[in-house]
Amino acid sequence: MDKREKRFVNWFIDELRGFFDFQKHEDKYTEGIPDLSYAGYDVDGWIEVKYQERLPVRPGTPLRLDHPLTTAQRRWLRRRGREGGGRCFVLLGLGSGEVLLTHHTLLYDSYGTTMHLDEIKEVSCINTNRKNFDRSAMVVALTMKC
């Protein structure tokens, strides 16, 4: 996790402090485990966090994440989402200030490699921004399986 992504994670946790109990996971020995787990409102879940500072300049250019989802991360999210409580997400922070939350069932194999930003926005549960962060919508999405 790079510095920008760490700052984004800390900002996200601070925004939802009091709503959820978050735990960061940085397991160097087990592949695929998401960056955050959370519990609150009688539910728990997992969030893989991605941050992308630079966005495509030309329309029609796919969003290429500096650190796209790995195969192990996609598999972990799908398996745990299917076998567990179903609350597995990817949280994407963008340099533009946008914050997108996508449910694991809507992940494409190409997420962050060949998907266009508009496609990611279409399948996202939440599309908000850091300036006017919609806490209540995020709480609902994280508790309702999106």
DSSP 46-72: EEEEEEES---SSTTPPP--SSPPPHH
Mean pLDDT over all residues of the chain? 87
Asked if residue 142 has pLDDT above 90, the reply is yes
Phi-psi region at 32: left, alpha or beta (left = phi > 0; alpha = psi -120 to 50): left
- Residue 31 confidence (pLDDT): 86
**Could you give the CA distance from residue 84 to residue 61 in angstroms, rounded to a whole number?**
36
Residue 95, classed as helix, strand or coil, is: coil
Report the side by side order of strands in the sheet with 36-40: 21-24, 36-40, 43-52, 88-94, 98-103, 126-129
Residue pLDDT, tens place only, 58-92: 777 888 888 888 888 888 988 888 887 789 999 99
Q: Please tell me the pTM assigned to this model.
A: 0.91
